[in-house]
Structure 1
Amino acid sequence: MTSITDPPRGSFRPSMLINDTRYRSYTFQAIAFVVLALSIGYLINNLFTNLAAQGLDIDFSFLGAPAGYDINQRLIEYTSQSTNLQAAFVGILNTLLVAFLACVTATIFGVLAGVLRLSNNWLVRKLMAIYVEIFRNIPVLIWVLIIFTIMIAVLPGPREFRGDDPSATMFLGISAFTNRGVYIPLPFFERGFGGGLDFLMVLAVLVGSFFGARAVNARATRIQEATGVRPATLLTNLGIWFGPLIVMFLVFGLRFEVPELKGFNFAGGIKVGGPLIAIWFALSIYTGAFIAENVRAGIQAVSKGQTEAAGALGIRPGRIMSLVVLPQALRVIIPPLISNYLNITKNSSLAILVGYADVTATLGGITLNQTGRAIECILLLMLFYLTISLLISAVINVYNNAIKLKER
């Protein structure tokens, strides 16, 4: 009986690049790399050739020119005389803000809905199934329009807060829900805050709280190992984390600027615009439905024997879910969760539909139209979304690698 084996080692011959299995894969990879490099080079050369034929070139100097337009929702200082680069940064921060808020709330919605989909209560289980099937099968663009339209139609206008309409009253006397957005108090410090020493003090307090909470949890673990009963640590940990910070903020004179109705609009406080709320809530409930299915699949991937063994030890169902099932289910949940976070970041570009000034609206919209630098703006947009997507994938993959099973 004969078998096909690699030829004996000897002097290298060019034919071995194809016939020898030791080199064949490298040959095909090298050929594919050369073809890809030539294709990219051809496309780039074609781009510059066409630009030169029309008297154009790649030039990013427009980023230093005045933007000439206002942005209503911003996290940093900006005026119409700021540069296009500054406007792009405002859009980037707005994009990151809505993506971060949506990722957090979508995760909360998804985990709750995914756990409740497996509830023993028939009504709760069916309601969560209805939520998942409705929200994930309707495009997120429609949800953005629905939520924004409801806000405009249902919530009162600022001027209505002058009348006797009971629906147009400030919530707890400090917040106002209007069709233009939500106005909430703005915290500030009477004695000033923001120096390097102040931030070092806050950092020291946070580090101390971290080690204090670890000491409390370690003590609770020792008591549990000795007696079989774990003492409650939630309130103690909350006191350790928030108590020193509250005292420090009071020392600095923490106060709140409450929004007040002046003229035809509210002044003071923080304005959370209606477009931000619409895109934030739409992305949250839409993506939360997908995360719920990931959570449900992850929980069902854990053997029922784990739950039964924990129940036999007398552990309450809530503790079984949080201590036994979910930690093991995370190995199944995390990989598809990365895709959901990436979808949130990319779907945030739909904010331009309701007038939210994200990076697509500023750099890829107004700036592009005013300067005519379409190629440069699109390249910068592609670079931004690619960078953010790779960073999100890298961070979540680090956590995924930390919780995956380690084989000997």
Structure 2
Amino acid sequence: MKLTKGTLIDWGQQALLLITVMLLFWYLGTNASENIAKLGITTGFDFLDERAGYDISFSLIDYSHNDTYLKAYYVGVANTLLVSFLSIILATVIGFIIGVGRVSNNWMVSRLCRSYVEFVRNVPLVVQLVWWYAIFLSLPAVRNSIQLGDNIYLSNRGLAIPHLSFSGWGGYIFLALLASCCVAFCYRKMVIKKVQWVGFNPVLWPRLLAIVVSLPLLMVLMTLISGKVDYSTPALTGFNFQGGMIVIPELVALWIALSVYSASYIAEIVRGCIQSVAKGQHEAGKALGFNDSAIMWKLIVPQAIYPMVPQITSVYLNIIKNSSLGVVIGFMELVSSTGGTTLNNTGQAIECILIVMGTYCVFSLVTSLLMNWYNSHVAVGRK
């Protein structure tokens, strides 16, 4: 590349900006280090190996107050991922239904969907979260719990359901599921590459489903044969249920609030992207004899997905970050555990906040990476 005066000036400006930013961070870091030393505060991450000493009401992994702060961090991460994943799924489903309803020819459906969007989107998420939590707390007490089926009870303590435990093998089953998904992805890629040469169009989903299910199912069978499966059902003992698994109200309230609130934004994205598709596509579908439902789901929506993905990615990132509002109602996710109780117990504010910030950054980057990959996948044929 030929160096010109303009190029040298551009490089000089970028180098100057980079040096300025580095000096700023060096000054802030040095100043913070000196102030911490003057106050006699111990720094470092050694506190993670100390006994936590506090309980967590809901955890996907085994945890007790005798475990370390690092184990409490893992529990917070798992709870954050759980509520984020569930909220993303439910918000996407509700958002698509409401978004399609917004462009419906049915006047009543269109107006109801519009009312949902306008109301939910303009009420703060914290208010909705507290409202949903209050609803669950107003349910009957444990002794008067509502029986929804065999061994399923609903009360103000949460939803009591049967629990199936694989006695430490659950992690291996999850890893088997991930491995099966990777194998299915590679197999699909290989078949599609072959299709381009041969020209046949196979039905792949039964094969892919068999590949995904096979290895985890084999692990489950091995666990059953080894006799390491523990099945328990909830039973009322005293003032609470014993056995089974309790899905606490805090988790359900946070899940529903995040889903309902985020769905209003997804609905508007879906509506705008559907309306961006040329009207001639609908007329062409009518000319070919398709009904309105087939035109929408087989012709319009597939074309509208491509511009949806980048915008919906932002909503997904907001769901992950807004899961930190669980601290408002006492749900022990990442901010409540590491950024709250652990910070207060140890006084390691800088380290705890750095851990929380770094974790959310990783969550966001991984989510963006996956969505960008999906966006490039649906963009095939548009280049």
- TM-score normalized by structure 1? 0.80
Q: Which has the larger radius of gyration?
A: 1
Asked if structure 1 preserves the Cα contact closer than 8 Å seen for 2:176 and 2:216, the reply is no
Once residues 238 and 387 of structure 1 are traced to their aligned partners in structure 2, the CA distance between those partners, rounded to angstroms, is: 29
Tell whether 2:350 aligns with 1:375: yes
- Distance 1:326-1:48 versus aligned 2 partners, 3 A rule: same
- Distance 1:184-1:377 versus aligned 2 partners, 3 A rule: same
- 1:123 CA displacement: 0.7
Tell whether 2:82 aligns with 1:97: yes
- 1:385 CA displacement: 1.0
1:73-222 to structure 2, matched below 5 A, reads 73-153=58-138, 155-161=139-145, 168=146, 170-187=147-164
Per the alignment, residue 62 of structure 1 pairs with 47
Gaps in structure 1 of 5+ consecutive residues: 1-8, 162-167, 216-223, 226-230
- 1:404 CA displacement: 2.6
Once residues 193 and 383 of structure 1 are traced to their aligned partners in structure 2, the CA distance between those partners, rounded to angstroms, is: 29
Matched AA of 1:26: W
- 1:322 CA displacement: 2.0
Once residues 119 and 397 of structure 1 are traced to their aligned partners in structure 2, the CA distance between those partners, rounded to angstroms, is: 30
Asked if structure 2 preserves the Cα contact closer than 8 Å seen for 1:73 and 1:357, the reply is yes
Deviates more, 1:357-366 or 1:397-406: 397-406
Once residues 239 and 54 of structure 1 are traced to their aligned partners in structure 2, the CA distance between those partners, rounded to angstroms, is: 59
Number of aligned residue pairs:
371
- C-alpha deviations, 1:78-128, integer Å up to 9, x for none? 111100111111111111111111111111110110001111111111110
Task: Give SS of 2:149's match.
Answer: coil
Once residues 111 and 290 of structure 2 are traced to their aligned partners in structure 1, the CA distance between those partners, rounded to angstroms, is: 27
Task: Give SS of 1:113's match.
Answer: helix
Per the alignment, residue 44 of structure 1 pairs with 29
Once residues 364 and 84 of structure 1 are traced to their aligned partners in structure 2, the CA distance between those partners, rounded to angstroms, is: 11
- 1:194 CA displacement: 6.3
- Distance 1:49-1:398 versus aligned 2 partners, 3 A rule: same
- 1:197 CA displacement: 10
Asked if structure 2 preserves the Cα contact closer than 8 Å seen for 1:206 and 1:241, the reply is no
- Distance 1:144-1:66 versus aligned 2 partners, 3 A rule: same
Matched AA of 1:186: H
Matched AA of 1:185: P
Runs (4 or more) in structure 1 with deviation over 4 Å come to: 192-208, 236-256, 405-408
Q: What RMSD over aligned residues (CA atoms) do the two structures have, in Å?
A: 3.7
Give the % identical residues.
37
- 1:238 CA displacement: 11
Per the alignment, residue 387 of structure 1 pairs with 362
Task: Give SS of 1:171's match.
Answer: strand
Asked if structure 1 preserves the Cα contact closer than 8 Å seen for 2:176 and 2:215, the reply is no
- TM-score normalized by structure 2? 0.85
- C-alpha deviations, 1:32-64, integer Å up to 9, x for none? 111111111111111111112222342211111
Once residues 78 and 38 of structure 1 are traced to their aligned partners in structure 2, the CA distance between those partners, rounded to angstroms, is: 43
- 1:328 CA displacement: 1.3
Deviates more, 1:92-101 or 1:197-206: 197-206
Once residues 317 and 100 of structure 2 are traced to their aligned partners in structure 1, the CA distance between those partners, rounded to angstroms, is: 23
Per the alignment, residue 165 of structure 1 pairs with none
Gaps in structure 2 of 5+ consecutive residues: 192-199
Per the alignment, residue 273 of structure 2 pairs with 298
Deviates more, 1:397-406 or 1:63-72: 397-406
